[in-house]
Amino acid sequence: TTGQPAADETVDAPTSDRVLGAPLVELNHVNKHFGELHVLQDIDLTVHKGEVLVVIGPSGSGKSTLCRAINRLETIDDGSIAVDGKTLPEEGKALAQLRAEVGMVFQSFNLFAHKTVLDNVTLGPRKVRGMSKKDAEELARTLLDRVGVGNQAGKMPAQLSGGQQQRVAIARALAMQPKVMLFDEPTSALDPEMVNEVLDVMVALAEEGMTMIVVTHEMGFARKAAHRVVFMADGQIVEEAPPEEFFTAPKSERARDFLSKIL
């Protein structure tokens, strides 16, 4: 690792001195257009096993498209994206299998409205992983407990608060036993008093060693859990640095300008 943490960093930086593993998500020269708009411009990015990467940047800079491309919810024009050494196939059963290795949590919770909380979590493991109903339910209950909504299993999503729904969405993604978790502004649709209950679950996941790519403007989370912050603007990675460095001494004018607006 890179030296000893300073004395005043030791309390809040449990993850920053963790030893990272091999490359897990690798983007090489990824380009994507929407018509005339060059939304991802020659993106090179490697995320290592156990790493927590925070992606920030102005609205429209391509952050969601980047996440969606990693999960193949969007195609790319050229370049390559590999997860655990495997380049994602474009379609078919192999795509479903590989997509299962990449858990995704969206801004809008996207739970199945007409299924119970428990069924929301068991569906993927049963359909994609071929798990028995009994095993899937056991796993789901463990995960729902872990995110603090174990007592909500029989309810419908609409009966839960936004913060509870988002925690169910995290449990649902974890039920697929993904190798990496993508979070696209997971707290930005929440009422302020519910933000921390979701961030706390994410910090705990980070501390357990989950590989995470998190699009968020929550600086507290970034400082506490991120190894690295990537700043995107206009489809490009403009700057990347450890959070303490990025937030205190951003190098680019665009990052300074952005931070002055959100801090």
* Interacting residues toward ligand ADP by CB under 6 A: 34, 37, 39, 57, 59-65
Q: What's phi and psi for 119, nearest 5 deg?
A: -65, -35
Least distance CB 78 / ligand ADP (angstroms) = 17
Of 6-14, 62-70, 94-102, 221-229, the segment contacting Mg ion by CB under 5 A is 62-70
# of chain residues touching Mg ion (CB under 5 A): 2
- The backbone region for 237, taken as left when phi is positive above 0, alpha when psi lies in -120 to 50, beta otherwise, is beta
Residue 37: contacted member of ligand ADP, Mg ion, none (CB under 5 to 8 Å, by partner type): ligand ADP
CB 243, CB 229: distance < 8 Å: yes
Q: Does 64 bind Mg ion (CB under 5 A)?
A: yes
Residue 220: contacted member of Mg ion, ligand ADP, none (CB under 5 to 8 Å, by partner type): none
- Strand (E) or helix (H) holding 34: strand 23-34
Return the structure tokens found at 108.
């809008």
**C-alpha to C-alpha distance for 27 and 255, rounded to whole angstroms:** 22
Terminal alpha carbon distance of the chain: 29
Strand spans (E) along 64-141: 78-83, 86-87, 102-105
Residue 113: contacted member of ligand ADP, Mg ion, none (CB under 5 to 8 Å, by partner type): none
Return the structure tokens found at 162.
């936004």
Least distance CB 262 / ligand ADP (angstroms) = 13
Q: Which is nearer to ligand ADP, 144 or 226 (CB)?
A: 226
Least distance CB 221 / Mg ion (angstroms) = 16
Least distance CB 234 / ligand ADP (angstroms) = 9
For Mg ion, the binding residues (CB under 5 A) are 63-64
